[in-house]
Amino acid sequence: MIKIGDRMPEGHFTIMGEKGPQAISSDDVFGGKKVVVFSVPGAFTPTCSAQHLPGFVEQADALKGRGVDTIACMAVNDVFVMDAWGKSSGCGDKVLMLADGNGDYTRALGLEMDGTGFGLGMRGQRFSLVVEDGVVKHVNVEAPGEFKVSAAEHALTQV
């Protein structure tokens, strides 16, 4: 599992660009910036949609006021789902929606979870990371069924 002081692994995500899906490298996301990235088990799932993503949308200005360049939400979902979820949640340009469609980046972080009991397959755990110029400064992994340390309000105490 990724830990404080580690460099973020090399990899790619997919985002929705003006002309459709486009790849974005982890270096483009994390290099030379202060980033709060959070992961959810799935777009449109109850806690993720009611609290997790909305919390970061609501706290975006406060986080950016403390020097955060990018707030990113990642999930093991396809880019079309992530784009639709971002639009329906009013993300605008406040939260970068990163699709990790096959879970490759999630596995590289060592933060995957088995959601087959819920019909979800392999997904990412609920977590947040504070990253500065590609180096992890804080790791916040939720216990199963919890929603505390990966919330936007907690991130505000770490930036």
Q: Whole-angstrom Cα distance, residue 127 to residue 41?
A: 9
Whether 91 is catalytic:
no
User: Residue 149 phi/psi, 5° resolution?
Assistant: -75, -15
Which strands sit side by side in the sheet containing 127-132, from one edge to the other?
20-25, 12-17, 96-99, 70-75, 34-39, 127-132, 135-141
Query: C-alpha angle with apex 3: 22 to 10, nearest 5 degrees?
Result: 30
Which of 2, 48, 96, 109 is labelled catalytic? 48
> Catalytic amino acids?
48
